[in-house]
Amino acid sequence: MSIRVARKRSDAYQHGDLRRALVQAGLKLLSEHGVAGLSLRAAAELAGVSHAAPYRHFRDKNALVAAIAEEGFKLLTRAMRTEVEACSSGDVLLRLRAVAHGYVSFALAHPAYFRTIFAERVWLDKNDPMKDSLVAASRESLGVLRGLIDEGIRNGHLRAGDPDQISLAAWSLVHGLSLLIIDGQLGGLCDTPAAIRSVTDSVGRLLQRGIAR
Amino acid sequence: MSIRVARKRSDAYQHGDLRRALVQAGLKLLSEHGVAGLSLRAAAELAGVSHAAPYRHFRDKNALVAAIAEEGFKLLTRAMRTEVEACSSGDVLLRLRAVAHGYVSFALAHPAYFRTIFAERVWLDKNDPMKDSLVAASRESLGVLRGLIDEGIRNGHLRAGDPDQISLAAWSLVHGLSLLIIDGQLGGLCDTPAAIRSVTDSVGRLLQRGIAR
DNA sequence: ACCTGAACACCGTTCAAGT
DNA sequence: ACCTGAACACCGTTCAAGT
């Protein structure tokens, strides 16, 4: 996907929607140059604006990263929902596997983006006024998984248990697997989409055997 | 733990063991100022040496990070071994839980360090001549987990299965859980050692139910 | 062989000044 | 209200020069 960044016309006094343009620029930088390539100055330049201009819209770099992360969670949520709907099965276990696949696939397709979403500094900055909406976006992402687990427990396809614990286990599993792959720990094990599905499924099945009735 | 960095005496021509001093300085910077606080220039200053001196020992910052990561894997390995030995049970499942606890505890005790160990750039740089020993250190870490799983399959405490798959699932689970906690995703759920053990155990049990005989 | 100091191209952040 | 340009304190990296 090619990301468009609205540039300020050089004869204009104002940009119009600089905030949005900076977020788009950040996404472009992340996807083209990785985490290290994301800088306020580079984003400002892509938006056709001076390097100090972003400070009218974000109080620091971390605030821009938080805005990008929020956008990222929405994309992650959509990626998981799309997989679940494509599955179109009544079987909760199959749909859980689809969510897992959506999660891992998103991470592999947008590694720098995925890492940025979970970058600690975004989460540990208590004063960020944007934090509420970021947390909301994150909860919605996790909600896709959580909803299926609740449903499985309710209709008896999953063994009775604490849904918080089960969600956390499932989330940890797909999160860890995603990071091990994109950090290169598995030595290029997952190059093809088929290989991704195979690894995700086989790892997921082991947990499923533990939580299924 | 307070980390000592050997400084060059200002009247001396050479440092003596600058390479080692820079790695120690890196560890100190990581533990005191986080990932963002780790810079070649700051490490050089801690070692009492000019900012260009490190380039006689590391071809770039990434090479220093790789050396730090190698040291980190050794500490991680020791942390897991210590937990397993303290467990002193013949039960593979109990010892697996001890390994899991060692892994997660290490991550929570040294978050910046843990993140650095797995930083993608360290792994994706194919040309780094140090990569072989880094990979060896990483394999030894994973070997602690892997050894227990092999043993469990051999003596029948674990269900028969592909040990690669089972190891990957277990590793993904503890890795994901560690990162979700240190990245603040769980909202300060794990503040006390008891809470860490409780979460690790409950999540681990779900996977164990899937892989135990 | 090992280290220094100056230099270059980047950062994030602040602030007075412009429109 | 929004943006610019200069400034400051940091980076990583290179390179001629010193011991």
State pLDDT tens for residues B155-189.
Answer: 999 999 999 999 999 999 999 999 999 998 988 78
Name the pLDDT band for A70 (thresholds 50, 70, 90): very high
What would the DSSP string read from start to end of A40-74?
A: HHHHHHHTTS-TTGGGGT-SSHHHHHHHHHHHHHH
pLDDT band at A1 (very low <50, low <70, confident <90, very high): low
Contacts of A169 in chain B (CB under 8 A): 173, 202-203, 206-207
Instruction: Write down the mean pLDDT value for chain A.
Output: 93
pLDDT bucket at A131, cuts 50 / 70 / 90: confident
| Distance in angstroms (rounded) separating the CA atoms of residues A86 and A79 | 11
The per-residue pLDDT for A41 is 98
What's the pLDDT at B132?
86
Q: Which residues have C-beta within 8 Å of that of residue A24, sequence separation ≥ 6?
A: A3, A4, A5, A6
The Cα A112–Cα A28 span in angstroms is 11
Q: Which two tokens stand for residue B127?
A: 């040309």
Residue, of A88 and B107, whose pLDDT is higher: B107
Is a pLDDT exceeding 70 seen at residue B1? Answer: no
What is the arithmetic mean of pLDDT over A107-120?
94
Checking if the pLDDT of A125 tops 80, the result is no
Q: What is the pTM of this model?
A: 0.95
Which residues in chain B have Cβ-Cβ distances shorter than 8 Å to A184? 120, 123-124
Nucleotides of C under 7 A from a protein CB: 2-7, 10-16, 19
Q: What is the mean pLDDT of residues A90-96?
A: 93
Give distance CA B45 / C1' D9 (Å): 16
Distance A120 CA to D6 C1' (A): 33
| pLDDT for residue B205 is more than 70 | yes
Q: Report the mean per-residue pLDDT for chain B.
A: 93
pLDDT tens digits for A142-153? 999 999 999 999
